[in-house]
């Protein structure tokens, strides 16, 4: 039995659109922070046939089955029973698939003695879900050409950012990220502009992180997020992942920043708002967002480490 743990990550420069090649490679460079307290834990056991359970339920996840089939062919894997458990809402814009695939590949690598390094695990995780490539690494993480294997830009202690997550719905999303980004690529009139500007956004964000320039990071991260949501909104049929409370939280975060709090928002393909802040602003931000009508729950995270093997005794949260 082997257990692996990975955390979700949150993109500050977004990935939304793939290259037209095999290997599930993003069309644009992207960059994320890995969170701590939220976890996916995957347990791998030998079995008589392939089985996959998510949060205790037997499920048929085509992406997991496809990745396992390719890994089985490539590495002659034996049949495995895979049990994955998240301690946070699944499929609701909290990067559950990112954490799940990073833990899955890390667990299979160790259980089957494949001897992969982090770059190779990142590549295999990317084949499952491109954002998962980033959850292999901790802290500040880049997913860039030519290899599209995630690289650490800086460790967690480089800049101890905090993330307050305002949960505004527990429902699973109606349109998956994979389907949504393909729809945007094919139909949004802004898609080519998105491709052209992503390199500059990436460079700006990487510089802001290197120099710990919060204002610069806030500006470029909110811009990248809103550009991605503009692609979604201008897709045909349109894609809208926000609830009224998501919009109210973004407005509240702008107000807080105007009043001197070090905070900015980012939102993925779901209704949850992630408020990225400096430690001194966290309590104020969490309180303000908890008071926004429609906010169901507040989660607080700091930056976390990459995917890793854990033993039976290890607590399932923390860095
Ligand atoms: C909005 O990584 O879930 O979270 O590669 O098709 O599985 P696939 O997509 P996925 O898309 C993530 C999109 C996003 C932005 C991001 O994480 O960069």
The domain that holds 109 is classified in CATH as: 3.30.230.10
pLDDT at 250: 98
Please state, in angstroms and rounded to a whole number, the distance separating the CA atoms of residues 77 and 301: 36
Ligand 1 proximity of 268 Cβ (cutoff 6 Å): yes
Tell me whether residue 211 is in a domain.
Answer: yes
Measured by CA distance, the residue closest to atom 7 of ligand 1 is 129
Measured by CA distance, the residue closest to atom 2 of ligand 1 is 131
What would the pLDDT profile of 219-252 be if each residue is shown by its tens digit?
999 999 999 999 999 999 999 999 999 999 999 9
Measured by CA distance, the residue closest to atom 14 of ligand 1 is 268
pLDDT at 171: 85
Which of 27, 62, 177 should be mutated for ligand 1, with most atoms under 8 A from CB? Answer: 177
**168 and 100 within one domain:** no
**132 and 70 within one domain:** yes
CA of 269 to the centre of ligand 1 (A): 8
pLDDT at 115: 97
Return the CATH number at 197: 3.30.70.890
Q: Which residues contact 161 (CB under 8 A, 6 or more apart)?
A: 33, 276, 277, 278, 302, 303
CA of 16 to the centre of ligand 1 (A): 7
pLDDT at 92: 54
CA of 276 to the centre of ligand 1 (A): 19
CA of 47 to the centre of ligand 1 (A): 31
- Domain hosting 16: range is 2-157
**173 and 205 within one domain:** yes
Give the ligand 1 atom nearest the CA of 128.
Answer: 7
What would the pLDDT profile of 6-38 be if each residue is shown by its tens digit?
999 999 999 999 999 889 999 999 999 999 989
Ligand 1 proximity of 269 Cβ (cutoff 6 Å): yes
CA of 280 to the centre of ligand 1 (A): 30
CA of 148 to the centre of ligand 1 (A): 14
Give the ligand 1 atom nearest the CA of 97.
Answer: 3
Its pTM stands at: 0.95
Ligand 1 proximity of 131 Cβ (cutoff 6 Å): yes
Q: Which of 157, 181, 208 is the last residue of a domain?
A: 157
Ligand 1 proximity of 94 Cβ (cutoff 6 Å): no
- Average pLDDT per block of 10 residues along the chain, 319 residues long: 96 97 95 94 94 92 94 96 84 74 98 97 97 98 97 97 95 89 98 98 98 98 98 97 96 98 96 97 98 95 97 58
Ligand 1 proximity of 173 Cβ (cutoff 6 Å): no
pLDDT at 99: 94
pLDDT at 276: 98
Q: Which of 91, 126, 157 is the last residue of a domain?
A: 157
CA of 130 to the centre of ligand 1 (A): 6
Ligand 1 proximity of 169 Cβ (cutoff 6 Å): no
Ligand 1 proximity of 178 Cβ (cutoff 6 Å): yes
The string of DSSP letters for the chain reads -EEEEE--EEEEE----B-SSTT--BSS-EEEEEBSS--EEEEEEE-SS-EEEETTEE---HHHHHHHHHHHHHHTPPPEEEEEEESS-TTSSS-HHHHHHHHHHHHHHHHTT----HHHHHHHHHHH-TTHHHHTS-SEEEE-TTT---EEEE-GGGS--EEEEEE---SPPSS-HHHHHHHHHHH-TTHHHHHHHHHHHHHHHHHHHHTT-HHHHHHHHHHHHHHHHHHHHTSSS------HHHHHHHHHHHHHHHTT--EEEE--SSS-EEEEE-GGGHHHHHHHHHTSTT--EEEEEEB----EEE-TTS-SS--
Q: Which of 157, 174, 192 is the last residue of a domain?
A: 157
**89 and 10 within one domain:** yes
Tokens 């458990």 identify what position? Answer: 85
The number of domains in the chain is 2
Tell me whether residue 313 is in a domain.
Answer: no
**146 and 256 within one domain:** no
């Amino acid at each position: 039995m082997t257990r692996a743990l990975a955390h979700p990550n949150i993109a500050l420069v977004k990935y939304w659109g793939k290259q037209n090649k095999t290997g599930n490679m993003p069309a644009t460079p992207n960059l994320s922070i890995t969170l701590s307290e939220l976890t996916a834990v995957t347990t791998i056991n030998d079995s008589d046939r392939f089985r996959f359970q998510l949060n205790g339920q037997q499920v048929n996840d085509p992406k997991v089955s496809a990745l396992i089939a390719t890994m089985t062919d490539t590495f002659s894997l034996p049949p495995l029973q895979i049990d994955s458990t998240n301690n946070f809402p699944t499929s609701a814009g909290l990067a559950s698939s990112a954490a799940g695939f990073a833990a899955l590949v890390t667990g299979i690598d160790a259980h089957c003695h494949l001897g992969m390094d982090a770059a190779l695990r990142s590549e295999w995780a990317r084949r499952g879900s491109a954002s998962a490539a980033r959850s292999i690494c901790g802290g500040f993480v880049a997913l860039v050409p030519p290899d599209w294997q995630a690289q650490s830009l800086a460790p967690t202690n480089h800049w101890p950012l905090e993330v307050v997550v305002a949960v505004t719905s527990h429902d699973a999303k109606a349109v998956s990220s994979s389907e949504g980004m393909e729809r945007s690529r094919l139909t949004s009139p802004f898609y080519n502009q998105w491709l052209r500007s992503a390199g500059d956004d990436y460079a700006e964000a990487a510089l802001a992180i290197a120099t710990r320039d919060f204002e610069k990071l806030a500006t470029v991260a909110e811009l990248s997020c809103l550009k991605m949501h503009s692609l979604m909104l201008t897709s045909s049929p349109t894609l809208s992942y926000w609830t009224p409370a998501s919009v109210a939280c973004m407005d509240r975060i702008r107000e807080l920043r105007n009043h001197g709090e070090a905070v900015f928002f980012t939102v993925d393909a779901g209704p949850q708002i992630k408020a990225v802040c400096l430690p001194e602003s966290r309590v104020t931000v969490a309180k303000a967002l908890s008071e926004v009508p429609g906010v169901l729950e507040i989660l607080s995270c700091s930056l976390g480490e990459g995917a890793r093997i854990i033993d039976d005794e290890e607590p399932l949260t923390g860095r």
